[in-house]
A and B are shown apart, each in its own frame.
Chain A
Amino acid sequence: MVIKLRLDPSSGVATYLQLVHQVKHALRLGVLMPGDRLPTIKEVVSDLAINPNTVAKAYRELEHEGLVVGRPGLGTFVRRSLGSGSTADHTRFRRDLARWVHDCREAGLDQGDMEALFASVLADSVQEGIA
């Protein structure tokens, strides 16, 4: 099994949406690549004790967005990856970010400070229509 799906019961988000987000997150991170098989519905519910319909709904949603495709009798497979930028770009950005994190730590910022800072900058850029 390539990935294991999880649930956060206190998040207030509908279960099927949580599953959708997890798959998308995995796609973004490159944990799931095109051609990988998602866990079967039976595998997911054996772990999470949720209704099979819920998983089916999540997979339908992903299929609707063109991210996965279901092949009868074989499973549900990743169709395309998510996110922009090449792998080389990602590697460069990871390195830049790592350096930024290192610098912040040197300056005495903790994780919460860094997250708040990043979220604020991101929000500003969205407002300015750059991102």
Chain B
Amino acid sequence: MTADRTVRMFGGGSGELTAPAQSPTALEAVRLAKRYRGTWALRECTMSVPAGRVVALVGPNGAGKSTFLHLVAGLIAPTRGSVRVFGEPVGQRAAALARVAFLAQDKPLYDGFTVAEMLRFGRHLNPGWDDALARQRLAELDIPLNRKVGKLSGGQQAQVALTIAVAKRPDLLVMDEPLANLDPVARHDVMCSLMAAVAETQMTVVLSSHVVSDLTNACDWLVVLNRGQVQISGEVDELLATHRMMSGPAELADGMAARMPVISDSRSERQADLLVRTGPGTPLHDPRWSASGVSLEELVLAYLRRPDTTSLPRPTLTISDR
């Protein structure tokens, strides 16, 4: 897989020097596919993500995001292909289970348990449980340990569920729509809390959302799933740097389109706006065209409207656009 420079942070965020290094692959799917009763929820997904990233998994409803995350978490088995976490296959072995933490949609907890009992649950079921970390997090969030989980607010329940996942000290944290059903304050708090946990533990995170803007600042890797296939998998900075919105005369649009891949094409009588993917080091000299950057959201929307286009890392994998 493509080696990417990874920022390694030491000792809980002192802001030290980076050590550009070959990072291990946190998550790798090879031709991963899943069929439910005749419909293919995922088809031939191949992608990989380096360690230490916060990955945004976006796509429309029904694109297969939940299915993909459940496969990574080991809750379901693939119909075809494989998925590996840090090189180990996902499955029903205690060692494999210990590496990955999963936070399901609806953030399930045992409503009748107190918060302290939920921590005990974590302690009893996970040999790698970090109780001090869990208690510290909950104390920082002002969540009382002796209250029943069912009596907490939605945001507090989300924080407790996140704490249980984080205190397991996983190498990979997988979250299925963690911000759904949360009010804006709770959404912000959960993201802050999550980023603090990443700063402390250097774990890799994959979280899904169908609202891109929630994840823009937090995520440094983007995966777009559309109709069961991977459309985009790449570093956010690189994606934003290699896509440009070109505005220019409508009659020159076809010429531009011939020169570089066009993702979205919107023309009026006189003007054309093309979202293009510039290769690395492809100069844009033409003064008749003005180039501007795009936001991540615009990028995702443009790709989603053209399911047959992909932006996947250069490497040696052959991906069929099926």
A and B touch in the complex (CB under 8 A): yes
| Residues of chain A whose beta carbon lies under 8 Å from any beta carbon of chain B | 7, 9, 12, 15, 38, 40-43, 45-57, 59-60, 63, 68, 70-76
CB <8 Å contact, B191 and A75 = no
Q: What's the Cα separation between A45 and B235 when bound, in Å?
A: 20
A-B contact pairs, 17 of them (CB 8 A): A7-B217, A40-B13, A40-B199, A41-B9, A41-B15, A42-B200, A46-B192, A48-B217, A49-B217, A50-B217, A51-B217, A52-B7, A54-B220, A60-B15, A63-B17, A68-B15, A72-B10
Q: Which of B98-124 touch A at CB < 8 Å?
A: none
- Residues in B neighbouring A55, C-beta threshold 8 A: 13, 15
Return the chain A residue nearest B193 by Cβ.
Answer: A46
A45 adjacent to B14 (CB under 8 Å):
no
Q: Are the C-beta atoms of A57 and B7 separated by less than 8 Å?
A: yes
Whether A76 contacts B217 by the Cβ 8 Å rule is no
B185 to chain A, nearest CB (A): 12
Q: Is the CB–CB distance between A40 and B12 below 8 Å?
A: yes
> Contacts A46-B193, A56-B7, A56-B9: A51 and B54 contacting too (C-beta < 8 A)?
yes
Q: Which residues of A contact B12 (CB under 8 A)?
A: 40, 42
A-side contacts of B54, CB under 8 Å? 51
Chain B 188-199, CB within 8 Å of chain A: the 1/0 string? Answer: 100111111011
A79 to chain B, nearest CB (A): 13
Q: Which 5 A/B pairs are nearest by Cβ-Cβ distance?
A: A41-B13, A45-B195, A59-B15, A49-B191, A76-B15
Is B219 on the interface with A (CB-CB < 8 A)?
yes
Is B16 a contact of A51 with CB atoms below 8 Å? no
Q: Given the complex, which residues of A lie within 8 Å of B220, measured CB to CB?
A: 51, 53-54
Q: Are A53 and B14 interface neighbours, CB within 8 A?
A: no
For A71, the chain B residues whose CB sits under 8 A away are: 14
> Is the pair A51, B15 in contact by a Cβ cutoff of 8 Å?
no
| Complex-state Cα separation, A75 to B206, whole angstroms | 28
From B11, B14, B16, B194, residue with most partner A Cβ within 10 Å: B14
Any chain A CB within 8 A of the CB of B152?
no
Q: In the complex, are the beta carbons of B14 and A50 less than 8 A apart?
A: no
Contact A49 B15 (CB under 8 A): no
A7–B38 Cα gap in the complex (Å)? 48
List residues of chain A with CB within 8 A of the CB of B13: 40-43, 52, 55
Shortest CB–CB separation between residue B4 and chain A, in angstroms? 11
A40 to chain B minimum Cβ distance, whole angstroms, is 4
Contact across chains for A60 and B199 when beta carbons are under 8 A apart:
no
Q: Are B195 and A40 in contact (CB under 8 A)?
A: no
The smallest C-beta distance from B188 to any residue of chain A, in angstroms, reads: 6
Are B14 and A52 neighbours in the complex by a CB distance under 8 Å? no
Residues of B205-239 whose CB lies within 8 A of A: 217-220
B16 contact set on A, CB distance < 8 A = 70, 72
In the assembly, what is the distance between CA of A71 and CA of B217, in Å?
27
Partner among B17, B198, B217, B218 whose Cβ is within 8 Å of the Cβ of A70: B17
Which of B11, B15, B195 meets A50, CB within 8 Å? B195
> Most chain-A CB neighbours within 10 Å: which of B11, B12, B13, B15?
B15
Q: Does B18 contact A (CB under 8 A)?
A: yes
Interface residues in B258-278 (C-beta closer than 8 Å to A): none
A75 partner, pick from B7, B14, B200, B217, beta carbons under 8 A: B14
Q: Which residues of B contact A47 (CB under 8 A)?
A: 192
